[in-house]
Structure formats: structure tokens, C-alpha cells
Amino acid sequence: MAVTDEAIEKIKAMITSGALRAGDRLPKEADLAADLGLSRNSLREAVRALSLVNILDVRRGDGTYVTSLEPPILLEALNFIVDFHRDDRVLEFLQVRRILEPAATAMAAERITAADLEGLRELLDSLGPNPNPEDLVAKDIEFHQRIVACAGNSVLSSLLESMTGPTTRARVWRGISQTGAVARTLAEHRAILDALTAGDPEVARAWATVHIAGVEQWLASVP
């Protein structure tokens, strides 16, 4: 094992064992290096690496802290990687979304509140019968993000949010180029909302699958 990798593993072990908790400040560099049997250079490199993935927060003039370790913070690194996707991988992102989002929608059907449902209804009503594709996609993204938030799983929510960017352009282009796409999207949103209102997780799951699969099938058919 490389020296830096060893240093990373030792710091991770301190966090997973509870010796360092979320929000804790790391001991001084010299003291921590001595305690872990590391050189100060290898410790410094490990801290730099762990800060890049949001496990540690280096505050100049103050010290180094363990972050909150909340999923949205830790998964920011995934969002950064996703930003470098190639256009020919958009279909793969949609496939991942089709696997995860129906499950989140089913979970939401069991947890969603009356206030959440009313907010979703108002969001859909604000679109009107003939929205332009850009407005529709913007509200579509918000609609699904609100539903996923109701599932009550922050890891799932963060993963799905990272899938949004790569598929946005394809969703707008579908609305512009495919006859009837806007009307179908509006109808599918209403069907998802009806299933959530009824508290029926399996119907909510089915409509979410249909909704996402429609974009996926269209994209697969585009030359």
C-alpha cells in the first residue's frame, strides 16, 4: 500500500471508529502524524485527498475539521464527475434514473403529506395547458425532486439529483422535436400525482417508470 493510501486509511479508521466525529477538529498535524506513525508529508497528502471528497474541511488559519458527513456533502464529488459526462452516455444516465426514481416515488407514496401534495398540485397548475419545453423541463425537474425528497432517503435523493444535469438537454429536445411529448408529460405528471394522492406505491412506481422510459425510448430511437 502506498504511504498516502495508508495515511488515508488510518484517518478513515479514526472516523469510522468514532475517534473522530462529524464536526470534530483534527489534532495538530505534528501530533496526529506521531500518533498514527506517519510522516507529516504523507499525512498532509491524505488530508488533501480527503478534503477533495468532502470528508475533511481544511480551514486556513483555523484547522482541519471532519465535515458533517451528510450524503449531499459527500456526493458532491459525484456531481463533479457527472459534469464530465459525454453526450453518448446520456442514455445510461436515464437507465440509472429509471432504476432508482420509481423506487423513490413508491417510497414517497407512503410518506407524502397533504401539504406536499398541495404543493405538487400547485406546481403542475402553474404550467398551464401549453408550456414551452424549457419551462416544462424546469418544472419537471422540480416536480421529481420534491417527490424524491418525500421518500425520506437523503442518499437516494442526492444520487438522483446528480442524474439531473446530464439528462436535461435531452428532455428539452424531446419536448421540442417529438409530437405530443409535452401533452404526454403533463398527463404522466398528473397520473403520478393521482397515485401519490391515493397513497398507492405500486401505481406510483408504475407511472414513474412509464414517464422516464418514454424519454429513454425516444432517445434510443434518435439517429
Encode pLDDT of 45-79 as tens digits: 989 888 887 888 999 889 999 988 877 776 666 55
In the DSSP assignment, the letter for residue 39 is: -
Does domain 76-221 correspond to CATH entry 1.10.287.890?
no
Q: What is the pLDDT of residue 167?
A: 65
Per-residue pLDDT at 180: 83
pLDDT for 7 equals 87
Closest to 204 measured CA to CA, from 101, 116, 125 = 101
What ranges do the domains of the chain cover?
Answer: 3-69, 76-221
Q: Whole-angstrom Cα distance, residue 214 to residue 169? A: 15
- Does residue 200 register a pLDDT over 90? yes
- The yes-or-no answer to whether 3-69 and 76-221 have a common fold is no
Stretch among 101-105, 165-169, 188-192 having the lowest mean pLDDT: 165-169
pLDDT in tens, 30-43: 999 999 898 999 89
Neighbours of 206 (CB within 10 A): 17
* 120, three cell numbers: 405538487
Gap between the Cα atoms of 11 and 14, Å rounded: 5
**Contact, 43 vs 29, CB < 8 A?**
yes
Report the topology of domain 3-69: Arc Repressor Mutant, subunit A (1.10.10)
Alpha-carbon gap, residue 150 to 123, rounded angstroms: 15
Of 210, 177, 213, 173, the residue nearest 191 (C-alpha): 210
The pTM (predicted TM-score) of the whole model is 0.64
* Distance of alpha carbon 35 from alpha carbon 51, whole angstroms: 20
Closest CA to 150 of 113, 187, 179, 97: 113
Residue 120 has a pLDDT of: 97
